[in-house]
Amino acid sequence: MKQSYNNGVEATLGVIGGKWKPQLLCHLGNRPQRTCDLRRELPAISQKVLTQQLRELESDGIISRHIGGERAPFKVTYDLTDLGRSLGQILVQMSVWGEQRASQVPDMEITHDHGGFSNIGLKMDSGI
């Protein structure tokens, strides 16, 4: 179905706005990862939602899915595409802004449970 946005910001939000997508992009920004790796790093996400968010990112062209092995316990690997990497600069800036904001607001905390975007800049096209 044809999706419609009022401006570019909304279009971008449509891509990165899922509940787990920032974290998924973060982890995939470091290196390609298998499904089970992502599940281990994000224990709180359910299989269903993980698959769902990965499918959305894939259909948006942000990540790519590779099936390793022929008919074994498949090794499915997800990786950022060039388009996905082109989000790096935005993600890093959002990360910085959010971190700074959280450091100034007492009632806001950021649990860096499973890595963050502070290092993503090295791998993604952050422009830094």
Partner DNA sequence: GGGAGTAGGTACTTTTTGGTAACCATCGAT
Partner DNA sequence: ATCGATGGTTACCAAAAAGTACCTACTCCC
Residues that bind a second copy (CB under 8 A): 1-13, 15-17, 22-23, 26, 83, 86-87, 89-91, 93-102, 107-114, 116-117
For residues 59 and 63, give the distance between their C-alpha atoms in angstroms, rounded to a whole number: 8
Q: Please give the backbone phi and psi of residue 119, each rounded to the nearest 5 degrees, phi first.
A: -105, -5
> Given the complex with a second copy, which of 12 and 51 has the nearer CB atom?
12
Contacts of 91 (CB under 8 A, 6+ apart): 16, 22, 25, 26, 29, 117, 120, 124, 126
Nearest approach in angstroms of CB 105 to DNA is: 17
| Residues between 22 and 41 with contacts to DNA, criterion CB under 7 A | 34-36
> Which partner from the list a second copy, DNA, none does 113 bind, CB cut-off 5 to 8 Å by kind?
a second copy
Nearest approach in angstroms of CB 128 to DNA is: 28
| Residues between 90 and 109 with contacts to DNA, criterion CB under 7 A | none
| Residue 15 CB coordination number (10 Å) | 17
* 2 binds DNA, rule: CB under 7 A: no
Residue 69 region, left (φ>0) first, then alpha (ψ -120 to 50), else beta? Answer: left
From the list 10, 11, 31, 55, which residue makes contact with DNA (rule: CB under 7 A)? 55
Taking alpha carbons only, the member of 84, 36, 29 closest to residue 56 is 84
Give the residues lining the site for DNA (CB under 7 A): 18-20, 34-36, 44-49, 51-55, 65, 71-76
